[in-house]
Structure 1
Amino acid sequence: MGSCTSKPQTSSKPQTSDKPPAKDVTSSNGSASRTRVMAEREYHNVETSTYVLPKDDQEKDRLHEQHYLIKEKFGGNLLKPEFTTQLFEKDINVLDVGCGPATWLMDLATEYPNSNFYGVDIADTFPQAIHPRNLHLQVANVLEPLPFNFKFDFIQIRLLAVAFRESEWEIAFRNIYNVLKPGGTFQVIEICPLLNTTDPEMLSIRTNMAQLLSKKQQNPDMASQLATVMEQVNFKVLYKKDIEIPLGHGTPADIAAGDSFKGVIIGMAPFMAAQMNIDVEEYKRLANKAAANMGPTKATITLWGYLGQRPSDN
């Protein structure tokens, strides 16, 4: 169901550069910031990162909404709850990698106050005002050894399809494996960023997105291949499920999913405009028109969920 394999096509339009113009933000002490501003949105300014989505308040709002959409589609925060829920009824340590504004963590930290929840992300987009006592957040990069001197019972990573180069998935999973207890559980939720569509405008965006990700050495179909990466790192794959989600048509959640995907393609505007060799405003007009057609043309997107386990030491 929901294959999103796409072979990048060669554009007939000459391209001068696929790097969008940017302005680095300088901190109050004059040092370089981890933020750059493009098209009036804030983006990561980490030299090694290939991430193409913003990190501003508008994006945080989209991520909060996206969390509840995923929760509804999978029937909760935990895959295969008949197996995972019993883990959380104990006093355990939980880590969310690439946690963003920590919505998943806050949801679970409130539900399971006797467990400790930790989140890491390459950027500090963490909540400031609302902070459960059992929630601990810090800046860290999963492509480097994680900064913990203890091991976790449960680790999640999700929705980093446009963050990692194809070769970096194994690095990330290995670093996660190293801080997971023997017998511990690993939850992966990932999406194919290339939607299923027949709309000509959205197909143009889809093709150019595939080309952009390919230039960044990313594999847009990686979500469907993560069980293989898990096994390469020595995880035992316990569970695998894919869900095809309507965008802009169907239930209220499906309508909201369309709005969320619109936020994705608009959020990528500086990168996509450079890829398509058009200005940002022209790209936004194209993206808005394409997004409006998702419902009438019955567009969908595919989400994958995996559960893995680190083998117990014998």
Structure 2
Amino acid sequence: MGAQLSRRRKISQSKKAAAKMLDQTQSNSSFSSKSKGTELFGRLYHDVESSAYLYPMDETEQDRLHGQHFALKALFGGDILEPVRRAIDLDDNCHVLDVGCGPGSWLLDLATSYPNSKFVGIDVVDMFPSTIRPPNTEFHVRNILDGLNMFSDNSFDFVQMRLFASVLKTDQWATTLAELKRVCRPGGIIQLLEVDYKVRGNSTVNQFTTKLVEVMAKRDLDGEMAKKLAPALTQAGFINVQTDHRSVAGASVTSAGKGKFVVATQPYDSPNAMDDAVTGEFWAGEPGVKQKREEAPYQNIDGRSTLDVMARAHRVNATQDTA
């Protein structure tokens, strides 16, 4: 990430203030009541009106999110980029925020590896771990669209937010990044990760992903936001912006494990919750042949499929200006 980022300066007053603020909050608690959700097509979805999040909130979704985490970790060779490891010493009482933490997979992974740091996760619904909670973690129900006013300025050394293209509307990105910038201390780092929903493949795959992006657009979601992360961070005032692109081929036997990444990031049944146009069925199999979703081959993609899938993920990190 360069010499500027490597020569991060420690701001002791800011870190002490953040530590005091975090210690005053009740560990492993929630800031709002737990959403009961709404059942649709046998799956449980959140009922938070201000959120456009597309995916379920049930146990099946938690399992998918855990698998997604480890697929992304394998794809990028770890939970954080190497430049971030060099810039931030997670053994040195760092404060880390995971926005949209889900069941806490990423947070727990790091918390167990770095017991001397504090890890905070927030999400719009409570899918937080109920049994395995290291003492250096806390989880809160919070909608990022309502702001992060429970945290003071410069509270965190490292802030992560990933896979929010299916959460934030196009006009919500700027205000969200501004809020992340506010809680990230000067010299701290923000890390974003998004998947390009325009997955490349044969005609069947292209039909499906094109439709998916169209349906997202109807909800004012940008299915190609992954390509726009770097300029968005620069416009938000971050510096030292770096991008890491990774592609996943799902058609090779040798990439069978990574091929599951496609299922992990785009569950075959999720479009049914998005729009009536694709409710209950989608294009699969030979071009022009419509199959019910329970018969569709997407649920069995394992890297040996003949669908010839190519997925692409973008991970971007940037530094909060020290000025």
TM-score range with shorter-chain normalisation? 0.7 to 0.9
Q: Which residue of 2 aligns with 1:169?
A: 173
Aligned length: 280
Separation of aligned partners in 1, 2:225 and 2:57? 23
* 1:120-176 C-alpha deviation (Å, 9 max, x unpaired): 111111011110000010011212220213610000000111111111111111111
**Counterpart of 1:210 in 2: which secondary structure?**
helix
| 1:185 is the counterpart of 2:189 | yes
Match of 2:297 among 283, 288, 303: 288
What is the letter of the counterpart of residue 123 of structure 1? V
1:234 matched residue in structure 2? 237
Structure 2 Cα separation of the partners of residues 110 and 243 of structure 1? 26
Q: So what's the TM-score if we normalise by structure 1? A: 0.82
TM alignment of 1:84-99, pairs within 5 A: 84=86, 86-99=88-101
Counterpart position of 1:5: none
Equivalent positions of 1:91-130 (< 5 A) are 91-130=93-132
Q: Which residue of 1 aligns with 2:145?
A: 143
The 1:168/1:82 distance shift into structure 2, 3 A limit, reads closer
Distance 1:33 1:293 in 2: 34
1:85/1:67 CA distance change after superposition, 3 Å: farther
Residue-by-residue CA offset, 1:274-302 (whole Å, 9 max, x unaligned): 12365699641464368659732321111
Match of 1:218 among 216, 221, 237: 221
Q: Is 2:186–2:321's contact at 8 Å kept on the other side of the alignment?
A: yes
Shift of the alpha carbon at 1:233? Answer: 1.1
Q: Contact 2:111–2:117 (CA<8 Å) still a contact in 1?
A: yes
Contact 1:144 1:175 in 2 (8 A): no
The separation in 2 between residues aligned to 1:135 and 1:257, in whole angstroms, is: 27
Is residue 312 from structure 1 mapped to residue 316 from structure 2 by the alignment?
Answer: no
Aligned CA distance change for structure 1 residues 309 and 207 (closer, same or farther; 3 Å): same
| Paired residue secondary structure (1:312) | coil
SS of structure 2 residue aligned to 1:189 = strand
Distance 1:65 1:205 in 2: 22
2:268 to 261, 265, 269: 265
Structure 2 counterparts to residues 41-120 of structure 1, below 5 A: 41-81=43-83, 83-84=85-86, 86-120=88-122
With over 3 angstroms needed to count, the CA separation of the structure-2 counterparts of 1:289 and 1:58, relative to structure 1, is closer
List gaps (5 residues or longer) in structure 1.
Answer: 1-30
Structure 2 residue runs of 5 or longer lacking an equivalent are 1-32, 283-289
For residues 206 and 293 of structure 1, do their structure 2 counterparts lie closer, same or farther at Cα, with a shift above 3 Å needed? farther
Task: Tell me: CA distance 1:75–1:237, structure 2 relative to 1, closer, same or farther (3 Å).
Answer: same
Which structure would you say has the larger RCO, counting Cα contacts within 8 Å and 6 or more residues apart? 1
Q: In structure 2, what residue type is equivalent to 1:66?
A: Q
Rate the CA distance shift 1:261–1:296 in 2: closer, same or farther, 3 A: farther
Could you state the TM-score of these two structures normalised by the residue count of structure 2? Answer: 0.80
Shift of 1:51: 1.1
Q: CA RMSD in A?
A: 2.5
Q: Distance in 1 between matches of 2:320 and 2:132?
A: 33
CA distance in 2, matches of 1:39, 1:235: 42
AA in 2 matched with 1:310: Q
Tell me, in whole angstroms, the C-alpha distance in 1 between the residues paired with 2:55 and 2:265: 12
Q: Which moved more, 1:250-259 or 1:46-55?
A: 250-259
Note the C-alpha offset of 1:80: 2.2
CA 1:92/1:50 → structure 2, altered by over 3 Å: closer, same or farther? same
Q: Distance in 2 between matches of 1:175 and 1:266?
A: 33
**From 301, 309, 315, the counterpart of 1:299:** 309
| 1:35 equivalent in structure 2 | 37
Q: Which segment drifts farther, 36-45 or 249-258?
A: 249-258
- The verdict on how the C-alpha distance between 1:83 and 1:111 changes in structure 2, with shifts beyond 3 A counting, is closer
Q: Work out which of the residue numbers 143, 159, 162 in structure 2 matches 1:158.
A: 162
